[in-house]
Amino acid sequence: MKIGFLGTGHITSSVIEGIFKSKLKIKRIYISPRNRLISKKLSRKFKKVSISKNNQQLIDESNWVFLAVTPKVGHKILKDLNFREKQKIVSFISTINLEKLKKYTKNKNITRVIPMPFIGIKKGPIIICPMDKKVKKFFDKLGKSIQIKNEKISKNFWTTSSFMAPFYHMMLNTSDWLVRRGVNRKAAEDYTREFFLALSQDSIFKNKLSLKQLTSESQTPGGINAQALRELKKKKFYKIQQKVLNSVFKRF
């Protein structure tokens, strides 16, 4: 299969890195010349990756086309490109819905997918909407794919994907605190990365327990975890988190 990526930015890089770590059988990957630096880097690193002359050439030569431009660019360029009627289109674009995508591309064979940067190490959830067997088979090789029937429901997952930066900031804040207490930066960051990794991995190993049970299990009555959770709740930390999710949701 030949595939093409319209827009060679962060998410395209991650998906391509993941593809070459996976068992997917890809004959050729066409990428658009923009971003120049990233496309050059990818074509140098992987023999099967070539930079197309322009967006239309990439579409013409690919069986599947992945849309990986920002919504603003998508609104501007998609309607002037010619997609074949039955060509598979997979859109990563966050805020252009199926109806608009169909209108712009004059194609009905469109699936929206939410990959995240860790797809580059074949990790993490990948939301697929609407359901599509072939698209699922493809992304099963790149992480944990989850099919969603309804586009309205998929908006909730787009919303929660906004918690990457807040999660890393929580890690940064933890290591900054350690540094202020006199721990050297490298040790503080190593500790924090290992700590959050172990927590996440453990939650997968213990997937028979609900997250509520895990929260409860990780506290000793009167202990320091119970104290931290109680104080954060009292200061409305988690209510604020819900409010922020509601506010991000409004963008979809």
Ligand X SMILES: NC(=O)c1ccc[n+]([C@@H]2O[C@H](COP(=O)([O-])OP(=O)(O)OC[C@H]3O[C@@H](n4cnc5c(N)ncnc54)[C@H](OP(=O)(O)O)[C@@H]3O)[C@@H](O)[C@H]2O)c1
Which of 50, 94, 109, 156 is the binder for ligand X (CB under 6 A)?
94
All residues at 6 or more sequence positions from 236 whose CB lies less than 8 Å from its CB, including other chains: none
Phi-psi region of 122 (alpha: psi -120 to 50; beta: other; left: phi over 0): left
Asked if 93 is part of the footprint of ligand X (rule: CB under 6 A), the reply reads yes
User: Which of 88, 188 has the CB closer to ligand X?
Assistant: 88
Q: How far is the CB of 195 from ligand X (least distance, A)?
A: 23
User: Which of 116, 179 has the CB closer to ligand X?
Assistant: 116
User: Which of 154, 188 has the CB closer to ligand X?
Assistant: 154
User: Which of 35, 174 has the CB closer to ligand X?
Assistant: 35
Q: How far is the CB of 222 from ligand X (least distance, A)?
A: 41
Residue 152, classed as helix, strand or coil, is helix
Amino acid, res. 147: Q
Of residues 20 through 49, those in contact with ligand X by CB under 6 A are: 32, 34-35, 38
Which of 1, 116, 172, 244 is the binder for ligand X (CB under 6 A)?
116
Q: How far is the CB of 226 from ligand X (least distance, A)?
A: 35
How far apart, in Å, are the Cα atoms of 54 and each of 30, 71, 194? Answer: 10, 19, 43
Planar angle of CA 157, 163, 167, nearest 5 degrees: 145
Q: How far is the CB of 61 from ligand X (least distance, A)?
A: 15
Which of 1, 51, 77, 171 is the binder for ligand X (CB under 6 A)?
77
Asked if 119 is part of the footprint of ligand X (rule: CB under 6 A), the reply reads no
Planar angle of CA 207, 222, 241, nearest 5 degrees: 55
Asked whether the beta carbons of 11 and 43 are under 8 A apart, the reply is: no
Q: How far apart are CA 98 and CA 150, in angstroms?
A: 11
All residues at 6 or more sequence positions from 91 whose CB lies less than 8 Å from its CB, including other chains: 66, 67, 101, 110, 111, 112, 113
Name the segment binding ligand X (CB under 6 A); options: 115-123, 134-142, 200-208, 238-246. Answer: 115-123
Residues that bind ligand X (CB under 6 A): 6-12, 32, 34-35, 38, 55, 68-71, 73, 77, 92-94, 114-117
